[in-house]
Structure 1
Amino acid sequence: MVDAIVSFVIERLGDFLINEAKFLYGVKGQVENAKIKLQCMRAFLKDADAQIRENGDERVCLLVVQIRENSYALEDVIETYVFRVASNNESVGATRRVLKCSARIIDVYKVGSKIKEISSNIDTWTSELEKYGVQRSMEKAAETSSSYVQERRQLRQAYSYVEDNHVVGFDKDIEELVALLTEQKNPHKPYKVISVYGMGGLGKTTLARKVYQHPQVRTHFDCYAWASISQQCNTREVLEGILFAFTSTNKERREEIRTTSDVELAKQLHDFQKQKKCLVLLDDIWTTKTWDLLKHAFPQGDTDSKILLTTRNKDVALHVDQGGFIHEPHFLSDKESWELFQKKYSCAGMDPSNLDSDDNERKKELAVEMLKKCAGLPLAIIVLAGLLSKKHTIYEWEQMKRNIVRCIGQGEQHDDSKYRSVWGVLGLSYIELPCHLKPCFLYLSRYPEDAVIRVKTSCLVLIAEGFISLRGSCMETMEDEAYDCLSELVERSMIQVKEMSSTGKIKSFCIHDLMRDLCVSKARDENFLHFIDLRNKVEEPIESVSTVPITNVRRVAIYCGPESTDNDIESADNDDESADNDIESADNDFVNMVRNIDGSLRYLSVNKGRIAFEEGVFRHVCNRFLMLRVLIIIDIPDSVCTTLPKEIGNLIHLRLFSMPYSLIKMIPSYFGNWRCLQTLRVCTVFDIIPNSMCKLEQLRHLYFYNRFSGVGVGEFLRSTKSRNLLQTLVGIHSKHLVLSDLLQLKNLKKLAIVVDGNFDSFLHNPQTLTFTRLLSLRLRGTALGNDFKIDIVPLILSCPQIYKLTLKSPIVRLPQVNQFSPNLIKLTLSSLRLEDDPMPTLEKLPKLRVLVIGWYSFMGDEMVCSRGGFNRLESLELIGLLGLKEWKVEESALSRLGYLHIEKCRGLRRVPDGLKNILTLNHMVIEYMPDKFKERMEEGGEDFYKVNHVTSRVFIECNEDYAYDCS
């Protein structure tokens, strides 16, 4: 990881030299020299890391820590100097210029001396590393590093002949893969390459072995070969091994093959697979480069031979064969997890019948609780069974449960078979990450376990910290690059997708508990980020955070309470006295914690539940942590307005400030001091953007959350220096605003605007110009009463590219089909108060996949989905249509619908008869509907035949309170 940090600092120094050269007066030479020395130092670091892992050399470890901390210090010194000079240049006045010039001379001397000192240290460390045997050669570093990884892999080497009779949950997977290999499935489109891809420990090799050994596969192919691939793939050995397996050669033939040239060997193997029907299993391929070294030995054209491969990286599978079949094994269910645990526990020689019945019952309860932490990962379950088989008392099981994730992760520490450590297996994925992805992964340690992580938020934080740089096309944005980094973590099976957006992009993801624990451990070891959970400080102590200062820490995430959701707010009112005491204790620890953190902090995230910044803690943050780039404060919403201290203007390095739930009384003018601010997310009431924010040059995303109305923009849009950078503008009010102001924002992608009776003036003298890059539009009206209606057609016509549209206001008329954007994918409607059925128009939108028709959008009593309509729609929600009595779905309408949600449409008598023809429908939610409506769809009900093919039917709060006349 240190090489990643040094690489990052080198890149930052390069940015300073290119973009901020005019502010490096007097120290530019020293900066260039320091950059060159760091580049030389970087050549040692991979070998140093490898020696630490392999030999645990404490001397090398201490040097690496010094390199890391001084690299950070170098960045801090230069960045502080640049911003001080830039701030001085903005001042005016002859006397002040003279004084500041004198001060700058002193600064130049001090800064230059500090840079020289760090550069001198780099020379010293270089000599020390060489003295301890660390090699400069990148080839040597790669060789040493790979030897450690190779050893880890050899310990878990898989062999084709090993039998595993305790396989659980793979029956359907085996059946599907066997059918594909033997061409019983898709015989007209046979797959040449079948890939098993997924997270470490998921059972890919076990599954592949079962398929490889399956009788149908054995009779289908003429020849078979199993090759376990190493990190530094020895192409010659792999190809020789495959040819040996195919030909069952004698000693003389083996010697002949060994003396054959590499080209001839590849040709022989290639030709053999063309002549015979062969199956090759390539187990554990990590990189596309490995396949490029092997591919010449495998026929690419028409052949009956096939390849079965396992990998953690989806890109590898796609690289081998873009048209191949990719299979991802599932995590085990609770039932399957328990079955596997029982088999492995018994396999370890434990006989539950010898235990006292009471002990047995309690152990079962504990085992079930601990299995939840395995989250269906087969390797974790196997390790857990092995550990518990050596613990015989209830007390030992209770002790293990208290720190279950760490126990499973580390496995049996004193066992020679280190492959039993789950961290040993998962850690290989971390070691294999390229430098630019390691910080992205370690950042995930800021989230508590089981958190659902939003991609958009993570991208903004990574950009704010400076860990994202444009590596691809010049047409890409930093946000695109950050998304690609997180996507690559998904492809590498480090994180799992939780939810996809309507456009097919990743919306949110999660991280397996064991992978997260590895992440937290690595982040702490590297002094990258400290996650501190004050809730668990007694049960699972991490460190004595309330008494011991954390020195030289760059990033801290403090978790004191539940995530801020509506459910959490509701439950918070019912906390008992003991919970209040816990919160008070957490308050004290939190205050002590913040006051003990070192001043070099760059990132502070606080999820504090009820904890308020009392006793001047917020002021302390603003006075102490002057290098902060990211400040995130998550609190449960309440009605109390917060006044931010004026000291907040001290945080001149801030790139991202997020305080989305606590009401801020006003947007202070001090925000204008944040010269580097990129993202602002605040909740405020009745305010206007201060003029001081116009001078901010790097603003990209503005989110204003307001419960009553939007935030007035004042002169901001006409005067802002960020006009060409702004991509997001959420929560602004249309008052004193005209459409032409918004059209000046050439890169605007997301717009959410609040309008009232002034909407006509907002559209006054509409321009012929259009939003060229706007992708998402949200329009909300604040005026009440049926008399208030707006004509949205001119605004819709100015947004020809949008794919997401939300309308929440009475409208004069629904736009015609050709007036909507042809790219529209998601449409959310609420409070439109339409008298005419909107379906005849909406069903013709060519790309619409998600449709929500919400409260008071349609005031009529009948809706009809016509024949062939909505041919791309996948999700439909009907909510709060109180007057709707009849909904008809004609033949071939909604042909791709997969999800249907009906809520509080209390007059609706029955579901349409046409639902029985929608075979793609697999999930249906009926919420707050009359009990009789529900009964009609249950087994034996009048409408059961319409929905009996739907896999998942969920009924929520359906009772007689919502009764209607069913006649």
Structure 2
Amino acid sequence: MALEEAVVSFVIERLGDLLINEAKFLYGVKGQVENAKIKLQCMRAFLKDADACVRNGDERVRLLVVQIRENSYTLEDVIETYVFKVASNNESVGTIRRVLKWSAQIIRVYKVGSKIKEISSNIDAWTSELEKYGVQRSMDKAAETSSSYVQERRQLRQAYSHVEDNHVVGFDKDIEELVALLTEQNNPHKPYKVISVCGMGGLGKTTLARKVYQHPQVRTHFFCCAWASISQQCNTRAVMEGILFAFTSPTDAQRNHIKSLSDVELTKKLHDFQKEWKCLVLLDDIWTTKTWDLLKHAFPQGDTDSKILLTTRNKDVAEHVDRHGFIHEPHLLDDKESWELFQNKYSSPGMESTDSDSDDNERKKELAVEMLKKCAGLPLAIIVLAGLLSKKHTIYEWEQMKRNIVRCIGQGEQHDDSKYRSVWGVLGLSYIELPCHLKPCFLYLSRYPEDAVIRVKTSCLVLIAEGFISLRGSCMETMEDEAYDCLSELVERSMIQVKEMSSTGKIKSFCIHDLMRDLCVSKARDENFLHFMDLRNKVEEPIESVSTVPITNVRRLAIYCDRESTGNDFVHMVRNMDGSLRYLSVHERHIAFEGGVFRHVCNRFLMLRVLIIDDMRDFERTTTLPKEIGNLIHLRLFSMPNSRIKMIPSYFGNWRCLQTLRVWTNSDKIPNSMCKLEQLRHLYFLNISIGVEIGEFLRSTMSRNLLQTLVGIHSKHLVLSDLLQLKNLKKLAIDVDGNFDSFLHNPQTLTFTRLLSLQVKKRDFVKIDIVPLILSCPQIYKLTLDSLVVRLPQVNQFSPNLIKLRLFNLRLEDDPMPTLEKLPKLRVLLISINCFMGDEMVCSRGGFNRLESLELSGLRGLKEWKVEERALSRLGYLRIEQCRGLRRVPDGLRNILTLNHMEIRHMPKKFKERMEEGGEDFYKVKHVTSRVFIDCDSEYASDYR
């Protein structure tokens, strides 16, 4: 119920912003707005105690609080719409039109003022009702002190310097057994074709399968491996395409060819590939036998060396897939193993202290052991409990947590199965314990399907657009920092799991366990926060059953479609919805443009703040947006990255509050109307061939002081000083043309003060001098260069903060390693596609002392690579791809003990054979735990079979 507190808090903050920044547009109703804000502030003081009443089952209070939430939203909608209409009217010219507008304004003031008074009166009445029901006004401190809050946020941002594998407890024997079965060390005369890992949700099936899948013996035993996440809504076409993509590593053209195949052709190609080569496919989380029946024709039966490793909750599924297969059922953890896992996941100061608090620590240990018994040996429940307790520091809080767990388990009626009731109780408590500002951040994750890999940056922008992020700390923080901290705290609480870290040590992507997602979807639906709808595979589930619960005033809707979904399906779902929708995401974009669906959205859902239309990129189709999209005047984020629009329409200028624009367009012009956008922070033009002209826009935009991201622009009609006026610019991706010298415009005296990421591309074959531009960017930590250059910058000309460097098409004659190896903080390096034209590279003694990842790709002239003693001393990942002249790996690799993963792609067969056991170079790489070879079994390593 703290969600209501969050909603009220955000509305109060928004009203405050409107009163400060939009006062000139509030004449006639400013007094009512100020009065409503005060009443909401008074109401907020009751919500904490109301939350406790709801938890204890008081239905009367619950209904009142829901009304408060909905009317808070309505109040914000009414006032924002009023402001936008007044602002629009003020732009009109002409005496007669102004008089008519003024007459209409008098009527509008009366109507809006009456509506605000009605809502304020309702708030008064509900406050009295809450007091009548015994709800007390909370006198808690409103917020943490600024200094301690900022310090905590900084600690969160430093907490994830690298990703460690999940700490696995109790699985050592399981891993050993499954690896032996897959590699046929056991029972070689009767090998199993299908090996299944079965067990309840949260048992660690996927963690175990991942350990086995990544095991070096498994990776070297099979020619190629593929991982496919299945889930309840299995998209069979996407699964088969994904497996074939993993097997063949296709180019963009080959990928499009695969996507153009019929289902029968695709199934046969995948079947034949596994028949010819020794392949391993991991099918993670198969729910039903029907799902396997839809997939089975893509997998060869009988005499084949390929194998399947699958995970499922249902033993019947495993037996149905292969009645002669091997079924492995991981055990629940015993008390000792549960305690070991808890200790490894508990992130607060340890309980092994011998200082004066040892009595408290001993009591905490006793309480932890008692609470662990409620987790019933289920790893997920133990991990979540550890995350919960890491936020509690006193004995009283731990005692209270124990009582709450017992009560929540008693209320865990969503699962009749007793083995799920305890874990559901623990998971439910993890949501209840969230502070109010984190609840909407968690509930937003219900928009993603099972097993989705969720990008942090995208999630942050959506949360900001919805208004769920506010700056509560230092003025040095940005909204993006605050949003990142919120997601980091969900990681700290073990409610989401880190999937990938960036080169700078920040979380790049995350995922959510399917049981935790079940909780998230359930809570989002109960709170009427967001509805998730899946139209994929309607053969298994008719459209009528997808939305059995009627939705009317839903505010957020996420829709996933397949190729067979139609505009009628969409209309069927939304026909009863009113205009309250604030967030809409449609995945499989063709439905959005069919039968006027897009136009329907733009005419009906005028309060939309976030509109996302996403799908696989279509290189052939060009879309024209309907002019009605200009009606969405409240829009904060518009993202359509994979549907090419013919031009950037002038009505984008109606989106006065737009913060993020992400589109793929053929156009190279920005309409003048977009200069009126006052809140623009992130601008992504995802063009393939050429960037968008932006010079005139930057010289006149009202968002100059807010812009942080410019991606996909080109240097035509642009000078560097235009960009240097953007004091908050952090990311710049620019295409340059023949005017590069004039673009630089004497930059030596000018520098980017906040730029952190720079990408420069040049399409033609004229060399540019990149040094002056690099010198103007002293703070960047990411740099991508894709152009012929006159010279490589010297060490002291690069930013000293450079962490990630990607180089393409530089066509250098001299070895770049002597320069690059001296960069003091470099951790990630990619040298690719004709970057170096020579035949020998040398990493000298002690060079690259911080480099962790190195990729050499497309260096066709390279014949010899030398690594001297103590070079690359921290290297953990090495990838070599399409360097077909390279004869052997360096002898110096044998001294790099940190190297744990090598990936060799599209290299000659002899190159691979030298590194296999018994080969001439095996002694150099035998210490590398994971050695993966992809498409290296032909003499010339063709790109694709």
Q: Does the pair score TM above 0.5?
A: yes
Matching of residue 281 in structure 1 with residue 261 in structure 2? no
Code of the residue aligned with 2:365 in structure 1: it is L
C-alpha displacement of 1:635: 2.4
Over residues 129-169 of structure 1, what are the superposed CA-to-partner deviations in whole Å (9 max), with x where a residue is unaligned? 3444444456899xxxxxxxxxxxxxxxxxxxxxxxxx833
Change in CA separation of 1:315 and 1:424 when aligned onto 2, cut-off 3 Å:
closer
C-alpha displacement of 1:802: 0.5
C-alpha displacement of 1:127: 3.2
C-alpha displacement of 1:100: 2.0
C-alpha displacement of 1:452: 0.7
Q: 8 Å contact 1:686–1:709 — kept in the other structure?
A: no
3-state SS in 2 of match to 1:715: helix
For 1:137-536, list aligned pairs within 5 A: 137=138, 168-169=170-171, 210=336, 281=365, 283-284=367-368, 311-312=386-387, 316=391, 410-412=414-416, 420-535=421-536
Code of the residue aligned with 2:414 in structure 1: it is Q
3-state SS in 1 of match to 2:88: helix
Distance in 2 (alpha carbons) for counterparts of 1:584 and 1:752: 37
For 1:704-719, list aligned pairs within 5 A: 704-719=685-700
3-state SS in 2 of match to 1:753: strand
For 1:686-697, list aligned pairs within 5 A: 686-697=667-678
Q: Which residue of 1 aligns with 2:709?
A: 728
Q: 8 Å contact 2:668–2:690 — kept in the other structure?
A: no
3-state SS in 1 of match to 2:27: coil
Q: Which residue of 2 aligns with 1:772?
A: 753
3-state SS in 1 of match to 2:918: coil
C-alpha displacement of 1:717: 1.1
Code of the residue aligned with 1:611 in structure 2: it is I
C-alpha displacement of 1:68: 1.8
C-alpha displacement of 1:314: 8.8
Distance in 1 (alpha carbons) for counterparts of 2:660 and 2:816: 38
Distance in 2 (alpha carbons) for counterparts of 1:894 and 1:744: 40
Distance in 2 (alpha carbons) for counterparts of 1:412 and 1:21: 55
Matching of residue 880 in structure 1 with residue 880 in structure 2? no
C-alpha displacement of 1:617: 1.0
Matching of residue 613 in structure 1 with residue 593 in structure 2? yes
3-state SS in 1 of match to 2:559: strand
Q: Which residue of 2 aligns with 1:220?
A: none
Q: Which residue of 1 aligns with 2:93?
A: 92
C-alpha displacement of 1:316: 4.3
The answer to which structure, 1 or 2, has the higher relative contact order (CA under 8 A, 6+ apart) is 2
* Aligned counterpart in structure 2 of residue 801 of structure 1, from 779, 784, 795: 779
Matching of residue 11 in structure 1 with residue 86 in structure 2? no
C-alpha displacement of 1:594: 4.1
C-alpha displacement of 1:62: 2.7
Over residues 677-714 of structure 1, what are the superposed CA-to-partner deviations in whole Å (9 max), with x where a residue is unaligned? 11100001142111111111111110001111111114
Change in CA separation of 1:699 and 1:282 when aligned onto 2, cut-off 3 Å:
farther
Q: Which moved more, 1:74-83 or 1:921-930?
A: 74-83
Distance in 2 (alpha carbons) for counterparts of 1:531 and 1:921: 43
Q: Which moved more, 1:799-808 or 1:595-604?
A: 595-604
Q: Which residue of 1 aligns with 2:632?
A: 651
C-alpha displacement of 1:28: 1.9
Q: Which moved more, 1:589-598 or 1:898-907?
A: 589-598
C-alpha displacement of 1:774: 0.6
Q: 8 Å contact 1:661–1:683 — kept in the other structure?
A: yes
C-alpha displacement of 1:277: 13
Code of the residue aligned with 1:210 in structure 2: it is K
Q: 8 Å contact 2:384–2:494 — kept in the other structure?
A: no
C-alpha displacement of 1:479: 0.8
C-alpha displacement of 1:115: 1.1
Q: 8 Å contact 2:535–2:543 — kept in the other structure?
A: no
Matching of residue 671 in structure 1 with residue 672 in structure 2? no
C-alpha displacement of 1:653: 0.9
Q: 8 Å contact 2:894–2:925 — kept in the other structure?
A: yes
Change in CA separation of 1:212 and 1:729 when aligned onto 2, cut-off 3 Å:
closer
Runs of 4+ in 1 over 4 A off after TM superposition: 137-141, 170-173, 199-203, 206-209, 211-214, 269-274, 276-280, 282-286, 313-317, 536-549
Q: Which residue of 2 aligns with 1:602?
A: 582
Distance in 1 (alpha carbons) for counterparts of 2:384 and 2:413: 26
Code of the residue aligned with 1:438 in structure 2: it is K
C-alpha displacement of 1:37: 2.2
Distance in 2 (alpha carbons) for counterparts of 1:285 and 1:316: 17
Distance in 1 (alpha carbons) for counterparts of 2:836 and 2:634: 50
TM-score (norm 2): 0.72
Q: Which residue of 2 aligns with 1:894?
A: 872
Q: Quote the sequence identity (%).
A: 80
Change in CA separation of 1:777 and 1:426 when aligned onto 2, cut-off 3 Å:
same
Code of the residue aligned with 1:689 in structure 2: it is I
Change in CA separation of 1:890 and 1:669 when aligned onto 2, cut-off 3 Å:
same
C-alpha displacement of 1:283: 4.6
Over residues 836-886 of structure 1, what are the superposed CA-to-partner deviations in whole Å (9 max), with x where a residue is unaligned? 110010000010000000000011111000000000000000001101110
Q: Which residue of 1 aligns with 2:49?
A: 47
Q: Which residue of 2 aligns with 1:365?
A: none
Code of the residue aligned with 2:615 in structure 1: it is D
Q: Which residue of 2 aligns with 1:328?
A: none
Over residues 284-311 of structure 1, what are the superposed CA-to-partner deviations in whole Å (9 max), with x where a residue is unaligned? 599xxxxxxxxxxxxxxxxxxxxx9973
C-alpha displacement of 1:756: 2.3
3-state SS in 1 of match to 2:515: helix
**Structure 2 stretches of 5 or more lacking a match?**
143-168, 176-200, 206-331, 371-382, 395-404
Change in CA separation of 1:900 and 1:309 when aligned onto 2, cut-off 3 Å:
closer
Q: Which residue of 2 aligns with 1:34?
A: 36
Q: Which residue of 1 aligns with 2:806?
A: 828
3-state SS in 2 of match to 1:887: strand
Distance in 1 (alpha carbons) for counterparts of 2:754 and 2:623: 36
Q: 8 Å contact 1:200–1:312 — kept in the other structure?
A: no
Code of the residue aligned with 1:281 in structure 2: it is K
Change in CA separation of 1:313 and 1:891 when aligned onto 2, cut-off 3 Å:
farther
3-state SS in 2 of match to 1:311: helix
C-alpha displacement of 1:609: 5.3
RMSD between superposed Cα atoms in Å: 3.6
**Structure 1 stretches of 5 or more lacking a match?**
142-166, 174-198, 215-225, 230-241, 247-265, 287-307, 321-378, 384-406, 562-582
Q: Which residue of 1 aligns with 2:79?
A: 78
Code of the residue aligned with 1:879 in structure 2: it is S
C-alpha displacement of 1:92: 3.0
Q: 8 Å contact 2:536–2:565 — kept in the other structure?
A: no
Change in CA separation of 1:846 and 1:18 when aligned onto 2, cut-off 3 Å:
same
Change in CA separation of 1:590 and 1:32 when aligned onto 2, cut-off 3 Å:
same
